[in-house]
Structure 1
């Protein structure tokens, strides 16, 4: 994981940028021959090409790349809550002060576009104000709740129509693909099959009766050892309790249970999946907000 502290030294920071790209796309010292045992598909080739282009040094001997500059700019904007117009002004001034031949972003949009090549995307999905439905898939064009008629949009003082409530969904599939693209995680994705404990020993979810019942129920899924099993976690609320603390948003996390215990519950492998905005606990309506995640799992044959 990257540490975007403003005071970090340049050399260490750029080394971590390189580690991030190498780990995300499975390229690095000593790994090239292993990665090339099987030709990547078209999507993977695009990932490799974009990451290699983005990490070219700005000039000979430079410790910075266009990617490291873009990531640092986005980090500064996030850490200090800088307005986008202010960022554009600062980046514009930076471009006038340095060599114009250096390939640095000319504005915040270009910086964001460059970082997006790594596939760190998200979807913004409008919701009913009461959380009873998402304006999603077949309902994406509706302007009112199909159950109770609540409006989807409101008009701002400037006359612009904006959605009243929207959630953010961070696609899970690209992050799971990276588990098989990175040489540091690929060997561990079959750990759950290769490290079963004797009866009576419980050290991982695979040793529990629920896991064994699942194996008996879905033998076709179990036959492919690389299939991903996921655990779903929520922070700050429980679906059927009134004890949730009031927050402005509610996060949903996913972790792959294929990995050993010392990995699957650590920060790099706990994936933020959904951010649900509301001052109220989602409680039993949580299934409404999980629709995009459930669809991803259904389409790719994974089990939660």
Structure 2
């Protein structure tokens, strides 16, 4: 299909014909949906509009010039010939952009940040490289975490790479510059202060307390100002509408052969269905397992500090997905000089509040 008219800035008759061709294509691929992602330069497929509103936007603002493959409207990505990368779309150009669009799909106030990241996706790391500026940096950042490089080592590496790569390279020259670029890619988290003896969180009514209301221990480290004695890292749970189909696998996709092959066959699951019948009848309601354990994030067995992770696992999914890394949600990270022990329930309070919100009120999300 010829899309040369997309990049044209002249709103000619050919452009309007092209807009109508696009809208018919989008409608035919999603006949049951009332809205489609709008590909104008302002919405860049983040905002969902009706067909008429999308037509108005495309007339008033024209197409996003980089949207040449209609992957958000049903068109298949071209097959990539890895033997001849110059004659095909580099895989990172596709996957990094898809990742960014997924991350920002329902964000209403971060369009400028997303646009700047997408611009980095259009800059090659250097002329002839299969990586772009963003995907190349993500590759280096992954190696940093995998091998436990310190910030000083990573900073020195970036300086050397900046120097030895071709002069037109776009790699950041320091770790400070790399953090500025990657700031928009990372998942947001909340830091909540805690009592050194694991009595309470300095949260909600205790947020401004200078000492623990239970044991009297100071909120702050000794001989410091505004440095908390212990911190809980909390990440809010995210909705992932792309896996809506897989979330009903436990009810529609599995073979019921009378054997225990999935948590769905467990008596505890059936007890929930019988006790809360309305909940059990909705196949997309999430069944979550909670797991907590101490870890050594830097592979050091002699560490003097404790680090505990609290992970949620979605049991709605098929077995090969529900235990895969991408569907394990790291919701809490408890770090401090001592392990929480039996007082771990104190740290679970923000997560429990979030789960109660899902149970009692619900959270609106997009049904893909």
- With the length of structure 1 as denominator, give the TM-score of the two structures: 0.69
Larger radius of gyration: 2
| Structure 1 residue 123 corresponds to structure 2 residue 199 | no
Structure 1: how far apart are the matches of 2:183 and 2:358? 23
Give the structure 2 partner of residue 110 of structure 1: 177
- With the length of structure 2 as denominator, give the TM-score of the two structures: 0.58
Give the structure 2 partner of residue 22 of structure 1: 98
Unmatched tracts of structure 2, length 5 or more = 1-84, 296-303, 363-368
Structure 1: how far apart are the matches of 2:117 and 2:356? 29
CA offsets per residue over residues 18-49 of structure 1, 9 Å max, x none?
Answer: 5466367559xxxxxxxxxxxx6444984975
Unmatched tracts of structure 1, length 5 or more = 1-10, 28-39, 238-245
Structure 1: how far apart are the matches of 2:135 and 2:94? 9
CA offsets per residue over residues 182-225 of structure 1, 9 Å max, x none?
Answer: xxx44212112214664843211112221122123333434443
Which has the larger displacement, 187-196 or 106-115? 106-115
Whose relative contact order is higher, 1 or 2, with alpha carbons under 8 Å and at least 6 apart?
Answer: 1
Which has the larger displacement, 288-297 or 40-49? 40-49
Give the structure 2 partner of residue 171 of structure 1: 236
* Residues 266 and 93 of structure 1: CA distance in aligned 2, closer, same or farther (over 3 Å): closer
Q: For residues 65-104 of structure 1, what are the structure 2 equivalents within 5 Å?
A: 65-79=132-146, 81-84=148-151, 87-88=154-155, 90-92=157-159, 94-95=161-162, 102-104=169-171
In structure 2, which of residues 208, 223, 227 is the aligned counterpart of residue 141 of structure 1?
Answer: 208
CA offsets per residue over residues 114-167 of structure 1, 9 Å max, x none?
Answer: 3332342333322111111112233222221121111121246xx654222112
Structure 2: how far apart are the matches of 1:114 and 1:137? 33
Tell me the number of residue pairs that the alignment of Structure 1 and Structure 2 aligns.
Answer: 262
| Structure 1 residue 292 corresponds to structure 2 residue 350 | yes
Structure 2: how far apart are the matches of 1:236 and 1:115? 28
| Structure 1 residue 233 corresponds to structure 2 residue 310 | no
CA offsets per residue over residues 221-248 of structure 1, 9 Å max, x none?
Answer: 34443332211112359xxxxxxxx972
Give the structure 1 partner of residue 21 of structure 2: none
In structure 2, which of residues 237, 241, 247 is the aligned counterpart of residue 180 of structure 1?
Answer: 241
Structure 1: how far apart are the matches of 2:100 and 2:253? 26
| Runs of 4+ with >6 A deviation | none
Structure 2: how far apart are the matches of 1:253 and 1:16? 29
* Residues 197 and 93 of structure 1: CA distance in aligned 2, closer, same or farther (over 3 Å): closer
